[in-house]
Structure 1
Amino acid sequence: MSQIEEAELLKLLANPKEQQKAFALLVNQYSQQLYWKIRSFVLSHDDADDVLQNTFLKAWKNIGTFQGKSKISTWLYRIAINESLDFIRHQKPIATVGADQSTGVSNRLLADEYFDGDKGQALLQEAISSLPDVQRTVFLLRYYDEKKYSEIHDILGTSEGALKASYHIAVQKITEYIKKHQ
């Protein structure tokens, strides 16, 4: 299936007779970018697939409430990020009883057959995973996706000043974490 313009996609989604077909186009069009956004949060391929599926299930369930006040990609990003953070929050009690949540992230990544990075990249991911949710989210959107603060504002609904502060603090924490663990 080829890419479809957002306006055309929205028109198809609004038509009950075309909604299933339109949603299949939406899934096809946004799966890959959402997968990689989710993967930057949850790190594991299998977990990212599960969260992606949950993202599209939630989008399908709530497609009737989409008002078109933002881009559909922004709406999907927000759902994907929220689903990713929910997944992480539910994993913490299981994976980190009495331990630092980031412990072992780099080891798990290096053992993951889908991870193609080196030890430095794994340590960076471990440092990112040690950040609080908001700082992690802002850092990932700004650093990896190269989103402008105005775009991050649209996704998260946070003021640009607060986003800039969160990014700056995240960079400082990541730098300190890497220096400490090298």
Structure 2
Amino acid sequence: MDTHTNRNDWDEEEAMIARAKTDLLFFEPIYNKYYEVIFRYIHRKTDDEDLAADLTSKVFMNAMHSLDKFEFRGVPFGAWLYRIATNETNRHFRDNKRRLLSLEDQKVSLVMTCSELDEVDMEQKQRVLAELISELEDEEIRILELKFFETKNFKEIAFILDKKESAVKMKMYRSLDKLKRRYEKMNKGNND
């Protein structure tokens, strides 16, 4: 569900969740509605189709088993699934001692969204931005990913990452500012 959902969509989703809580056979429409977006989210993080399918299955199994605990708190049900997906993916990377985000696969998308950077040729911009992003903390990368790749609003990002909305906003703007300052410093060094 996108961030511009109207009240009727929320009511319909609430009814779907209520039915699924009483009988898990009604979970199928929820699964069908969210499977693809959750799979893509995980696949982007793992760059492995089989692993993404496995983790996505775990996400929906966890959601089914915990469905009775879900409560609407001003964010769509999809945000709850993203939170579970984030936790499953983090757990996988932690258990396998790998970095959370494949920067090589993400750099083109991030370059396209970082319009604050000066106009330079795309290949150079990609190379420089990938280098700069690799210096960010994992949490900074997760926030940028949810904001720009998943187009989540700050309230949803805060819910997914279990943070305060104000903290998410501040961290995102600081991360973008950090990227911009590092870029300018790097660019100045190349022009000297």
Q: What is the Cα deviation at residue 124 of structure 1?
A: 6.0
Distance 1:131 1:49 in 2: 28
Residue 15 of structure 1: aligned partner: 22
Alignment gaps of 5+ in structure 2: 1-8, 106-121, 188-192
Residue 190 of structure 2: aligned partner: none
TM-score (norm 1): 0.68
Q: What is the Cα deviation at residue 6 of structure 1?
A: 0.2
Q: CA separation of 1:121/1:23 partners in 2, compared to 1, >3 Å: closer, same or farther? A: farther
* 2:161 partner amino acid: L
* 1:45 partner amino acid: E
Residue 61 of structure 2: aligned partner: 57
Distance 1:49 1:127 in 2: 30
Q: Percent same amino acid among aligned pairs?
A: 26
Q: Write the mapping of 1:56-75 to structure 2, written as runs, cut at 5 A.
A: 56-69=60-73, 70-75=75-80
Contact 1:51-1:80 at 8 Å conserved across structures: yes
Distance 2:93 2:48 in 1: 11
TM-score (norm 2): 0.65
Number of equivalenced pairs: 160
Contact 2:86-2:160 at 8 Å conserved across structures: no
**After TM superposition, what 4+ stretches of structure 1 lie above 4 angstroms from structure 2?**
118-130, 172-177
Q: What is the Cα deviation at residue 9 of structure 1?
A: 0.7
If asked which structure has higher relative contact order (CA below 8 Å, sep 6+), I would say 2
Distance 1:87 1:138 in 2: 19
Say whether 1:138 aligns with 2:143: yes
Q: CA separation of 1:12/1:126 partners in 2, compared to 1, >3 Å: closer, same or farther? A: farther
* Residue-by-residue CA offset, 1:42-79 (whole Å, 9 max, x unaligned): 23222211211111111111112223335321211111
Say whether 1:154 aligns with 2:163: no
Q: What is the Cα deviation at residue 140 of structure 1?
A: 0.7
Q: CA separation of 1:129/1:33 partners in 2, compared to 1, >3 Å: closer, same or farther? A: farther
Q: What is the Cα deviation at residue 147 of structure 1?
A: 2.0
Contact 1:149-1:160 at 8 Å conserved across structures: yes
Alignment gaps of 5+ in structure 1: 96-100, 110-117
Q: CA separation of 1:172/1:31 partners in 2, compared to 1, >3 Å: closer, same or farther? A: same
Q: Of 83, 92, 95, which residue of structure 2 is paired with 1:87?
A: 92
Say whether 1:35 aligns with 2:35: no
Q: Which has the larger radius of gyration?
A: 2
* Residue-by-residue CA offset, 1:72-93 (whole Å, 9 max, x unaligned): 212111111111111121222x
* 1:90 partner amino acid: D
Contact 1:13-1:23 at 8 Å conserved across structures: yes
Q: Write the mapping of 1:99-178 to structure 2, written as runs, cut at 5 A.
A: 101=99, 106=104, 131-171=136-176, 176=182
Distance 1:38 1:123 in 2: 25
